[in-house]
Chains A and B, each alone.
Chain A
């Protein structure tokens, strides 16, 4: 009888070598240049791809096992949430606006990140890099799916969730996140890695996911908390990889430093603009608030970001160019943006409302130098007008920034009484910007941004040609249902009625 010798168990290091690095081979009948044609044109120089380190040494077999386990837990909770009317456990129906923005603007970004990593996994040389990018591509696909599944339960009961893909492509505030990802995907592989792997994952994740997930926990939304947890360990890995990537580029050649610095400047600013959406959620949309946007910025931006850039100073990297302007904007951005959301509420696929007196007192306490001086008088006027039967509705469409695509709602960094007007002329055409940061990004690569699809000017072109009702149809926005004031919306009526049925005998 043949006795099979017991298989020797491989150590992690050995297994990693066999299952990643060992998958590579030397091409014989095609040149490296033909196989990897995208490695040179951005100007980044890599001399030794083997120097790339994957700090997790994660191999595919281990990856499937971990992820499978997480999926099982996730779907068990999501099923329970659906079966037990989990949607009625949220603090208040107003909370749904934060979720709608997340699904319309951020979840499609996960899918975009998936596409981008799948692509750069092919474009980079070096088996270690390729495998790490492939796993991140799968993670991001999983994030998009779990988010859509978790939030689909809300779609059974509430408005604004039904057409997130069209909303993402066609409505104005979502185009901020869309253009961020489109810009990254239209970049070369190295810039993509800085844009998503570094700026998005490393610098911004804490300011985006942490507030959303703690907001969900504070407001009784188990579905969102669950996908947050399920994604958290992936994001921790992405953050570490993002940092590894940047160090790898900087260590490979001194000529890479100015290019990497330029991308850090650019993608910090683009990311900061996407965070405008998050700031409104934190300060205005959560019925039970976690912390103010300013407090989140202090912890995650100033403290964590500050420590990171101190580390990177070793490589010659300085803090992003827009850092100071960002700091000046912190006490203003959520208010300026929310006043915009509210007055253009005919065109949003979520509901908004005038903050209550209690909300406003909280805001003046959190923003002692700005809220009472600049923003309370505007809300007070809007409230008075509403009480007099003249609700404040701005039917003018807004000037958008050619770079970040936000409406130009921001004021001068040093004067909150003057809107920031920036413009430039390129080949006879005028372009407008919300800030110096956005103008500089445009001027560095004008050929790219002249093609920007800006939702507001597009409304006056084919196929809509200025017809607002036709625009709503085209954007899958049902007037009177998905948009407008929360008070009196079907979401409000339904939530209050169902919750009443669940918590009382009437």
Chain B
């Protein structure tokens, strides 16, 4: 469907990548770890490698969860845009197909001390 309007109606999105001064947004969520109320918004250059994203800003944000130290990154299951995904840790976000405003999620089966009952 399209907007009801009296004249041509076509305006620029507010969150285009060009507004982020060479960076992009990645959303990241740890499934089953609902101590964190929502996906994290992370703003990094698209050349960042997947490893730098995970070991840098993501790990830092996750560190307040009691399970964070026990994550085995080699065994983690990933989703991108809600579909299964195998990232190459040494490639950039772009090379991994992680575009601006992409959502990544990860699962750590067996590791869930706070919301295990849930």
Partner-A contacts on B (CB < 8 A): 1-6, 9-16, 19-21, 23, 25, 27, 29, 31-32, 34-43, 61, 64, 66, 81-82, 99-103, 105, 114-115, 117-118
Contact = CB atoms under 8 A, between A and B. Distances in A.
Contact of A409 (B4, B20, B37, B61): B37
B96 to A, nearest CB: 15
Given A394-B36, A417-B34, A451-B12, A462 B19 contact: yes
B14 A408 contact: no
A465 B43 CA distance: 10
Contacts of A392: 35, 64
A430 B25 CA distance: 11
Given A42-B4, A397-B40, A377 B114 contact: yes
B37 A339 contact: yes
Interface string A416-432: 11110101000001111
Contacts of A456: 41
B29 to A, nearest CB: 6
Contact of A447 (B10, B23, B32, B103): B10
Main secondary structure of the interface of B (DSSP, over half): loop
B38 A416 contact: no
Interface string A432-463: 10000000000111111011111011101110
A396 interface: yes
Interface string A28-42: 000000000110011
A452 B14 CA distance: 6
A318 interface: no
Nearest to B8: A447
Q: Identify which of A37, A339, A377 gathers the most chain B CB atoms within 10 Å of its CB.
A: A377
A226 to B, nearest CB: 36
B22 to A, nearest CB: 11
Interface string A397-419: 11100000001110100001111
A316 interface: no
A336 B23 contact: no
B110 to A, nearest CB: 15
Contact of B16 (A374, A429, A443): A429
B3 A398 contact: no
Contact of A432 (B6, B10, B101, B117): B101
Interface in A177-205: 188, 191
Given A378-B35, A423-B103, A398 B41 contact: yes
Contacts of B115: 374, 377-378, 417
Contact of B6 (A41, A191, A398, A407): A41
B118 A373 contact: yes
A377 B118 CA distance: 10
